[in-house]
Structure 1
């Protein structure tokens, strides 16, 4: 099962790098996990305003981009 890494970034710089990763059966599962993670931030009463400019960048263990996942 491929391991994917979810980095949080506002634009072009990374503010939180995921060094552990998560096993995802395929790209669709990785995108869904990023979407769910984004949803957790949006549900917080204080973070949505700050988070709307951020996204999760999903990378494979080989460094290939699976998908950027927009936050807002």
Structure 2
């Protein structure tokens, strides 16, 4: 079983806060202190090789891995 210590949990909290700021700026909120806003890249013409691409839910994947480890240990 994994234990999150203060170091990693602080890092996760900091990354979450920064990502929320980026999302707010992308949604049209005013620019931050520097006056700069994040740049969002969008393909002008979709790549045909990615036509059937299905993103995975990493939270769900990690949950499945965790449960698989638990069941294999019992």
Give the TM-score of the pair, scaled to structure 1: 0.31
Bigger fraction of residues in helix: 2
Structure with greater strand share of residues? 1
Report 1 or 2 for greater relative contact order, CA contacts < 8 Å, sequence distance ≥ 6: 1
